[in-house]
Amino acid sequence: MKVLGVESSCDETGIAIYDTDRGLLGHALHSQVAMHEEYGGVVPELASRDHVRRALPLLEQALRDSGVGLDQIDAIGYTEGPGLAGALLVGASFACGLGLALDKPVLGIHHLEGHLLSPLLSAAPPEFPFVALLVSGGHTQLMRVDGVGQYQLLGETVDDAAGEAFDKSAKLLGLGYPGGPAISRLAEFGDPGAYKLPRPMLHSGDLNFSFSGLKTAVLTVVKNQITNICEQDKANVARAFVDAIVDVLVAKSVSALKQTGLKRLVIAGGVGANGQLRSALNAAAAKRQFKVYYPELEFCTDNGAMIAFAAAMRLQRHPDAARRDYGFTVRPRWPLEDLD
Ligand code: KG4
Ligand code: ZN
């Protein structure tokens, strides 16, 4: 079965083709980062318009790369939510229009399920069950994953997401958008002891997170310390921020493994691309004898491959899940636990 996947929930347009026999055949991606950069964040209306412009050329590219014709596609999966309403509507209407024209069934996919399953696209995928740490721009969750569609929420952020904390703190330091990679690079030059920032909820006794206080702590340091912040001080603050957030993410992941008795940890979402987080998790895994799995770097941030894959996995279990009525809705807010 060949499944076409369409991702358009935020600022990346992704189209991919996954074959249940041969694996990922091809995928094409366009990131809008450069377009949103000058505004310091994603401008929803611009995002929607750009998805409209990119979808068709990306489809053509994905088909070319896959060596597959449109007539060979068996079903189409698209991101139904969560995300920006207008952006989601572009992908949903594109997928449903294509399905109608080709007389192929369509299926709405949960964006976070795509992220959760993305490590299964790698050469050495984890087996079920595992604990997943989902760290993206909009979400921070620890889940127990027993199989496709079997997700149990263990803990989540009570305020900002990890990626949001990266982006907001980077903005306070005058770094561009998105701030995650920039603050991470700068932190490499920082002195680890120069500033100490709080580790919110580190000892809360549950598996929840809170990151808005960390961002406020960065703001306080930036305001108090420095009228004209020098480059070294910026790097020192960046280092303190990265150390604090990584400490919390690692500690809570270890607690989740202890609580569930599982030995496999899967990292998903954009922040999973972070080098400092990966080093700290690898060190913890070696010390505590668990195994940690990451998606390929290109599948950490938003992409069409994870949507095509999640759709294919769903259809293998529930062949009736795809529909041919082609009426569609999107779900900008859609808790993963509501997924049946
Ligand atoms: O998963 P994703 O592409 O989109 C959402 O679904 O939100 O994640 C984007 C987030 C952004 O906040 C970005 O700053 C963060 O992932 N990010 C990183 C890194 N690469 C992306 N954060 C820290 N270090 C990175 N290397
Ligand atoms: Zn995402």
Shortest-distance ligand to the CA of residue 42: 1
Cis peptide before 319 (omega within 30 of 0): no
Q: Which of 79, 271, 278 to mutate to test the pocket of ligand 1 (most atoms within 8 A of CB)?
A: 271
Longest dimension (CA), the chain: 63
Helix axes 162-172, 212-225, angle to 10 degrees: 10
Predicted model pTM = 0.95
With contact defined as beta carbons under 8 Å apart, do 132 and 143 qualify? Answer: yes
Helix (H, G, I), strand (E, B) or coil at 261: coil
DSSP-derived pairing of the beta strands 23-31 and 12-19: antiparallel
**Which residues of 180-325 form beta strands (DSSP E)?**
264-268, 291-293
- Note whether 114 and 8 are within 8 A (CB): no
pLDDT of residue 207: 98
> Closest Cα to atom 7, ligand 1: which residue?
137
Mind giving me the DSSP string for 127-187?
A: PSSEEEEEE-SS-EEEEEEEETTEEEEEEEBSSS-HHHHHHHHHHHTT--SSHHHHHHHHH
Residues 6+ apart with CB under 8 A from 101: none
Pocket of ligand 1 (CB under 6 A): 10, 136-138, 163, 166-167, 178-181, 184, 269-271, 273-274, 301-302
Tens of each residue's pLDDT in the chain, 340 residues: 999 999 999 999 999 999 999 999 999 999 999 999 999 999 999 999 999 999 999 999 999 999 999 999 999 999 999 999 999 999 999 999 999 999 999 999 999 999 999 999 999 999 999 999 999 999 999 999 999 999 999 999 999 999 999 999 999 999 988 899 999 999 999 999 999 999 999 999 999 999 999 999 999 988 876 556 788 999 999 999 999 999 999 999 999 999 999 999 999 999 999 999 999 999 999 999 999 999 999 999 999 999 999 999 999 999 999 999 999 999 999 999 888 7
